[in-house]
Structure 1
């Protein structure tokens, strides 16, 4: 145990992040261990029951090892979350020719991965992810923006990321609300419909009433694509100016 603590503290002091830090030597034990196995188990727990289900103790139980063995591979839960996020970033690799295709692919693949791993919506944003898979995603995007002025690259990418994060968080919040209440969007609208009709009948919200009654009601996929098109069109105008 003291040896494990020493290794962890030494790595912290020397500034080595988890992706640079070597794993402990493999040992011939009944339950072989690796960071990959630890992360896979944690992702499966989070996929099944959310981030609240992820702890080093629960991961150790799934892997049939003592919790202290995990500290030879990771320093704590924050590192585990970083590793989980980077692991699922393997599915976010933009493709296509040109900046517009790459940014659309970035947006769509990020959304797809979040729909597969709902917990990711709670961890996106904030400080940049710097794991190898996240860096590969960033490299692919920046390379596709090679013709864009270097000062515009990060603001453009940040704008797309902000749009995607906002959109997917709303979508995941809707999923969670549906599970919690047993009420899908159609039932929710039917329940609140009479209230809105009474409210709109007062004449206090004419603009909202017109949109709710007369505008096309798109599903989540259509709404995401339309909003993304608006954003990419605006970026195109700005870059051509």
Structure 2
């Protein structure tokens, strides 16, 4: 029986329900990451005894499942997008935006599918947009490909933001601090391709990089979904 199937216990002097528990856990994670979340800390924030939470949630893993599904509600658009490409594009961008609001989300993406109602609604909307465009295996690979790109790009961006927070250096400040060493290495002539990239490449911000890469992935998916003429 999953956490969504198990009924909640009756209310006691300090009112509790899964909604309040999850909200407290999300707030803790937003403040300090997943490592800041435990049933004891959640109970303390709700002014309840830790053992009371076990009537609602049996483990921290179940709590993470509920937290993840709570954020999936932010990923599901208010209005259905247009064609399949727009559905996948909107899902990717809304997932990135949710991760920027809740950086811990990056640590939970890409694992086993979550079975909560919000995650299932996102999955249903995605698959419905692709229904009939190709066989089921091709559709599955298309969704997996876009999801893999989205997850990887988000994790890279969140890792950079965490490094910035840990070092106190912005991306530009880190580049300036590392510049002399990199210049010395490139001047050896051992890394000509890398030197060309560093000196001649165009720098873009994280949002533009994400959007451009996503469109390339969607182009590749479109080629697989379009039947040969």
Q: Tell me the TM-score normalised to structure 2 length.
A: 0.95
The equivalent of 1:107 in structure 2 is 92
* Alignment partner of 1:238 is 2:221: no
Alpha-carbon distance between aligned partners in 1 of 2:132 and 2:76, rounded to the nearest angstrom: 19
The equivalent of 1:67 in structure 2 is 50
* Alignment partner of 1:182 is 2:171: no
Question: Structure 1 residue 81: deviation in Å?
Answer: 0.7
Question: Structure 1 residue 212: deviation in Å?
Answer: 1.2
Displaced runs of 4+ in structure 1, greater than 4 A?
Answer: none
Q: Is the 8 A contact 2:138 2:224 kept in 1?
A: no
Alignment map for 1:87-98 (pairs within 5 Å)? 87-94=70-77, 95-98=80-83
What is the CA deviation profile of residues 18-74 of structure 1, one whole-angstrom value per residue up to 9, with x for unaligned ones?
1111111223x1x10001111110000110111111111111111111111111111
Q: 1:165 aligns with which of 151, 174, 177?
A: 151
The equivalent of 1:125 in structure 2 is 110
The equivalent of 2:27 in structure 1 is 44
Alpha-carbon distance between aligned partners in 2 of 1:215 and 1:148, rounded to the nearest angstrom: 38
* Alignment partner of 1:217 is 2:217: no
What is the CA deviation profile of residues 66-99 of structure 1, one whole-angstrom value per residue up to 9, with x for unaligned ones?
1111111111111111111111110111541111
* Alignment partner of 1:193 is 2:175: no
The equivalent of 1:81 in structure 2 is 64
* Alignment partner of 1:56 is 2:39: yes
The equivalent of 1:148 in structure 2 is 133
User: For 2:188, what is the secondary structure of its paired residue?
Assistant: coil
User: For 2:104, what is the secondary structure of its paired residue?
Assistant: helix
5+ residue gaps, structure 2, are none
Alpha-carbon distance between aligned partners in 1 of 2:46 and 2:106, rounded to the nearest angstrom: 26
The equivalent of 1:24 in structure 2 is 9
Q: Tell me the TM-score normalised to structure 1 length.
A: 0.90
Q: Is the 8 A contact 2:99 2:105 kept in 1?
A: yes
| Structure 1 vs Structure 2 CA RMSD | 1.1
